[in-house]
Structure 1
Amino acid sequence: MQFLCAPILGRLSDRFGRRRVLVASLAGATIDYLVLALTDTLWVFYLARAVAGITGATNAVTATVIADITPPDQRAKRYGWLGACYGGGMIAGPAIGGLFGGVSPHLPFLVAAALAGITLVLSASLLRETRPPGSNGSHAQQPGTAKRTAVPGMLILLAVFGIVQFIGQAPGSTWVLFTQQRLDWNPVEVGVSLSIFGMVQVFVQAALTGRIVSRIGETRAILVGIAADAIGLIGLALIASTWAMLPILAALGLGSITLPALQTLLSRRAPEQQQGRLQGTLASLNSLTSIIGPVTFTGIFALTRTNADGTLWICAAALYVLCALLMIRETCASRRSR
């Protein structure tokens, strides 16, 4: 549902304002978690999840607000901070869920509803509208507007964003399976490795992304991130000992600069009155890769685990070659058009 509705909500934020859409999304999340906490019926559970997907524009609208209030040369830093917030949530969320889930399977959802409700109240009372003055999205309805507002190279950048998000599903969906088979890790070792990776990623996005982008630019930062992540993935394919995981986690962590830099480049290219539309499209691509990525990479692992269990990492790293070629092509085309 988020894949289908995120672009619509992004366009609604261009037309009616960021604050309204964000408040509606947080209200949907709060209701969703309350229903999940109270229901014992499976179809109600799915219905609540569908409602949360329909109203799930918090990521897209938050990124749009950052684009509205941040000068272009500072966006990479703030998108890095935003990514660090997501990473912090991925570290703290499972711990909170496990802690309260040990008391009752309903309690984590009540805690989530309370947190979403607090965020809803804060957003409704403190957040000011950030949509650029005079922008109401009406341009999207005018004949011939699509041709006037088309941005050269945008489709290539969107393709790179989608591929990078798709590659990111490989560790998320197969980390436990692979490390248990290749390194014979137990659940504690798996959990520690994921926590270390999360902390490295938070540090890189919060402290390094803005500095790297400001020094070498978005395009080079994207290429550096692609190279670092590809090295980390190849390292996973070859890993033979637990200690070798530390430099691999460092490389994968450095690779996390790719998405904030790419998001910054995309936001620079998009007109100010279409920032919501752009971020909605990015959120939709993220959801799409979250649907097809786990099935693809776990399928590859299932087919190759007996004789070549590192194949999935080689396949993921090979996709980065395509990303690099697309980025180089887009950069050359952009320079020729100036």
Structure 2
Amino acid sequence: MNNQSISRLNWARTLQWRHILPVFFIVCTFAAGTAAVLPVLPFHIRGMGGSPFLLGVIISVEAMGQFASGPMLGQLSDRFGRKRVLIASQAVAAASLLLLALAPSITFILLARVLLGLTAGNIAVTAAYVADHTDAASRRQAMGILMGGAGVGGILGAGLSGLLSDTSLTAPILVAFGLVLLSILVTAFSLDDAPAAPRSNDKIQEEQPSFRSILASPGIRVLIVVMLCHFFAYGMYVSQMPVFLGDTFIWNGHAFGAKELSYLIMADGAINVFAQIFLLGWLGKYVSDRSLILIIFALISAGFLTAGFATTIPILFLAVLCVSMGDALAKPTYMAALSNHVPLERQGLVLGGAQSLVAVADIASPVLGGFILGYALYGIWIGAAVAMATTGALLAATLLPRESRAEA
């Protein structure tokens, strides 16, 4: 057996596929449900008289729910097991989608998105489940596979939304509801329900989900600040991109709408699958976390600038390629880097807490972006996103170590 075959065999054993594949499918179906809603949501809100600023507020309150729930869901999964917490959060997500489909006014849309935001911590729970079943050496690849499931789901969900949006703007939401119910069934029958690691009752009682405990490590503090810069810049862009394109971009002779947005989300999903399942594993052999983070910021900055000047569909797709590639590489890289700084029994707490802290950026960036676009200041909108990405790149270049090292 040659060295390449041995390497592949060891990689397959290390990754524990029997644990990772069910989570991949769960994330895929849940992401498909979320992606089915995204193309129609901005136009659904506009149809009820909502402004770009109001769209930003609705996205922001969803992030507020994530801020509140991240550490709590993570710690509960550390204590009671990933499966129970994941099923509970999926059930709340299903209820929020049903409420969104039946919403008679923007007030109910707001409430539905708050409920959905409360379930956002389930990403940290699935990531903690993957961390439970991988070692530090293979964790970034495993996180990439996990996020690749979100990319596959994004393609499927956006495709369904594009097909159904001509029927009505609520039809994709009802499909999303069904997909989340499917993810609950898969979770119930495919995951084990053991806590991350055995712990004493005294330790459980003493440990509370506090941001002080999450920020205890200097390495974690730096990573979270860099993540805040990334997600603030990305949030500025992605939350208002449908509004920007709807106002400025002509797609084959007609205005940019929900169907065209579904095409971009499908492209984003395809890029995510390629980057997270294939490209990330290859880069992991040659590139440190610090270097990869700098590449990520360069990609999203180039994408923001290209989107600002795009006048044709190929140039617009180039912008999506850069931004989507950068964001696809970012999520598993950040999660794996954080995971490698903490012991197994604190994975859920730290990953959930970090997600909650990053939600601060998701709260502020859509509102700021909506305020700027409310005055049609497109250049300032792009410039603010690029400036924040540049800040994150400078912090990563100066504060992160040149070689990534996992802490025990």
| Residue of structure 2 aligned with 1:159, choices 222, 225, 231 | 225
* Contact 1:149-1:271 at 8 Å conserved across structures: no
| Whole-angstrom distance in 2 between the partners of 1:78 and 1:148 | 23
Corresponding residue number in structure 1 for 2:335: 263
| Whole-angstrom distance in 1 between the partners of 2:360 and 2:207 | 30
Structure 1 length normalisation: TM-score? 0.82
Which stretch shifts more, 282-291 or 94-103?
Answer: 94-103
The yes-or-no answer on 1:79 pairing with 2:143 is: yes
Call closer, same or farther: CA 1:42–1:66 in 2, change over 3 Å. Answer: same
Call closer, same or farther: CA 1:84–1:136 in 2, change over 3 Å. Answer: farther
| Whole-angstrom distance in 2 between the partners of 1:143 and 1:294 | 33
The yes-or-no answer on 1:220 pairing with 2:286 is: no
Corresponding residue number in structure 1 for 2:346: 274
Which stretch shifts more, 29-38 or 285-294?
Answer: 29-38
| Whole-angstrom distance in 2 between the partners of 1:17 and 1:26 | 15
The yes-or-no answer on 1:12 pairing with 2:81 is: no
Identity rate, percent: 28
The yes-or-no answer on 1:120 pairing with 2:170 is: no
* Contact 2:92-2:119 at 8 Å conserved across structures: yes
Structure 2 length normalisation: TM-score? 0.69
State the 1:135 CA deviation: 3.5
State the 1:286 CA deviation: 4.8
The yes-or-no answer on 1:244 pairing with 2:310 is: no
Corresponding residue number in structure 2 for 1:28: 92
The yes-or-no answer on 1:317 pairing with 2:386 is: yes
The yes-or-no answer on 1:294 pairing with 2:366 is: yes
* Contact 1:7-1:277 at 8 Å conserved across structures: yes
**Which ranges in structure 2 are unaligned for 5 or more consecutive residues?**
1-64
State the 1:151 CA deviation: 1.8
Other structure's SS at 2:400 match: helix
The yes-or-no answer on 1:184 pairing with 2:250 is: yes
| Residue of structure 1 aligned with 2:131, choices 64, 67, 92 | 67
**Which ranges in structure 1 are unaligned for 5 or more consecutive residues?**
none
| Whole-angstrom distance in 2 between the partners of 1:19 and 1:46 | 28
Q: Write out per-residue CA displacement over residues 103-156 of structure 1, whole angstroms, 9 at most, x where no aligned residue.
A: 566654543333222222221222013533323685365499977993222112
Which stretch shifts more, 68-77 or 99-108?
Answer: 99-108
Q: Write out per-residue CA displacement over residues 22-52 of structure 1, whole angstroms, 9 at most, x where no aligned residue.
A: 1221232334445555676887766565554
State the 1:65 CA deviation: 0.7
Call closer, same or farther: CA 1:151–1:140 in 2, change over 3 Å. Answer: farther
| Whole-angstrom distance in 2 between the partners of 1:295 and 1:227 | 24
| Whole-angstrom distance in 2 between the partners of 1:212 and 1:74 | 13
Which stretch shifts more, 44-53 or 206-215?
Answer: 44-53
Other structure's SS at 1:215 match: coil
* Contact 1:8-1:280 at 8 Å conserved across structures: yes
| Whole-angstrom distance in 1 between the partners of 2:306 and 2:172 | 36
Other structure's SS at 1:135 match: coil
Call closer, same or farther: CA 1:141–1:226 in 2, change over 3 Å. Answer: same
| Whole-angstrom distance in 2 between the partners of 1:36 and 1:130 | 34
| Residue of structure 2 aligned with 1:254, choices 311, 322, 325 | 325
Residue type of the alignment partner of 1:277 = L
| Residue of structure 2 aligned with 1:327, choices 379, 392, 396 | 396
| Whole-angstrom distance in 1 between the partners of 2:261 and 2:92 | 33
* Contact 1:19-1:123 at 8 Å conserved across structures: yes
| Whole-angstrom distance in 1 between the partners of 2:318 and 2:382 | 16
Other structure's SS at 1:269 match: coil
| Whole-angstrom distance in 1 between the partners of 2:130 and 2:110 | 32
Other structure's SS at 1:129 match: coil
Residue type of the alignment partner of 2:339 = S
State the 1:311 CA deviation: 2.8
| Whole-angstrom distance in 2 between the partners of 1:163 and 1:73 | 27
State the 1:102 CA deviation: 5.4
Call closer, same or farther: CA 1:317–1:38 in 2, change over 3 Å. Answer: closer
Residue type of the alignment partner of 1:176 = P
Corresponding residue number in structure 2 for 1:210: 281
State the 1:232 CA deviation: 2.1
* Contact 1:233-1:317 at 8 Å conserved across structures: yes
| Whole-angstrom distance in 2 between the partners of 1:55 and 1:184 | 36
